[in-house]
A = this chain, B = another copy of it.
């Protein structure tokens, strides 16, 4: 695999302020290219930037005058300066909802906000990372966008590829529910069912990346992963800008692979270094489902090693049993004074309904996880209700209707007349 990828590596690509790839473990630097693992130590590669040219106030003005999507932050992302002119799905600049009703129910007095990423084009935060991967694919001359997925990612890849005129080929287990197949297939790309489970799908994709049959293919979260992952930084940027260029005191972030949480921390650190926000302490809390809680278990046991689990939870978009960035999440939670907590399926459903009832936001199960964990962290004293807190909702309840279906229904059934209405106790 290394031989193939190094061959296409070049620093002549224009990815804006992205200067090189740098190993998170050993610091080894390589030119920008479709590689994701360090050739020295096999550590994960991430983007190193050159931000030295920026004047803080000029940069702030440039951002504020930018488009109402993630490309307002183009100067901080691995994309060319004219990225907003290229065909992409342009996610981001989603609502930061001041959640006063939810704050009252949870006893938060310092200001509670929900960053609601269900407002993205395919209604999940995955649009942010896929939009980045697409720009990297374009820069590297790839013509096919690909991924393995059982949900949100498939839709995001299909939509982005369609709009950008890329071929897309998404791999899924062959026996997925029909609704999920439709959501992924409607964009007209190739949708290939693999006879096997999700692990078989992933194994096959790894094989394909190393083979000539997969030449010209950008797997958004494999060979394009360093670029893809940077999309999560935009959540940090938007939250701070929407708070009036201020850091929140506390953030509650879901954990799947852990990448999102680590990149949000990276984004906050960048804003501090660039002088766009005033430096001050902030705490990052990680949220998992009890049925897939390897990071939470490690955190509570005081361990640095994350032991894999076999997922069994309704929060399927977070069900990664062996999270690649788990150790980094532990570092960040401990360094910032946060924590990692989990909630069970019943608490997830309760939290989905709580958020809907108080703020009119219908979250995916992942949003139930963050809201449920926020409640639990307040109860056990780890999250300070007197501080400004931002909770992430990364997906849309319409995609996980089944999670709340058994518990949500008609409050009454009546005959079509006023007597029946009054008998049911519904009159004002």
Contact = CB atoms under 8 A, between A and B. Distances in A.
Interface in A116-172: 119, 121-123, 143-144, 155, 158-163, 165, 169
Interface string A399-418: 10100110011111111111
B359 A410 contact: no
Contact of A360 (B163, B181, B427): B163
Interface in A183-199: 183, 185-188, 190-196
Contact of A418 (B143, B144, B179, B211): B211
B192 A360 contact: no
A90 B95 contact: yes
B211 A360 contact: no
A75 interface: no
A123 B87 CA distance: 23
B416 A196 contact: yes
Contacts of A119: 119, 121
B207 A360 contact: no
A16 interface: no
A427 B190 CA distance: 12
B416 A194 contact: yes
Contact of A68 (B93, B190, B358, B428): B93
B192 A414 contact: yes
Contacts of A217: 428
B361 A159 contact: yes
A12 interface: no
A352 B188 CA distance: 11
State the copy count for this chain. 2
A416 B193 contact: no
B187 A357 contact: yes
A424 interface: yes
A192 B412 contact: yes
A102 to B, nearest CB: 10
A419 to B, nearest CB: 10
Interface string A374-402: 00000000000000000000001111010
Nearest to A352: B186
Nearest to A100: B87
A428 B213 contact: yes
A195 B415 contact: yes
Nearest to A411: B190
Interface residues of A, number: 86
A201 interface: yes
A141 to B, nearest CB: 12
A159 B95 CA distance: 15
Contacts of A246: none
A101 interface: yes
A203 interface: yes
Contact of A356 (B188, B358, B399, B426): B188
Contact of A213 (B89, B181, B204, B427): B427
B181 A215 contact: no
A71 interface: no
Interface string A95-114: 10000110000000000000
A178 interface: yes
Contact of A362 (B159, B418, B427): B159
Interface in A343-376: 352-353, 356-362
A410 B193 contact: yes
Interface of A: 68, 87, 89-90, 93, 95, 100-101, 119, 121-123, 143-144, 155, 158-163, 165, 169, 174, 178-179, 181-183, 185-188, 190-196, 200-201, 203-204, 207-208, 211-217, 352-353, 356-362, 396-399, 401, 404-405, 408-418, 421-422, 424, 426-428
18 contacts: A155-B362, A179-B405, A181-B409, A182-B409, A185-B410, A186-B352, A186-B353, A186-B397, A190-B426, A191-B409, A195-B413, A195-B416, A200-B416, A204-B416, A204-B417, A208-B421, A212-B427, A213-B421
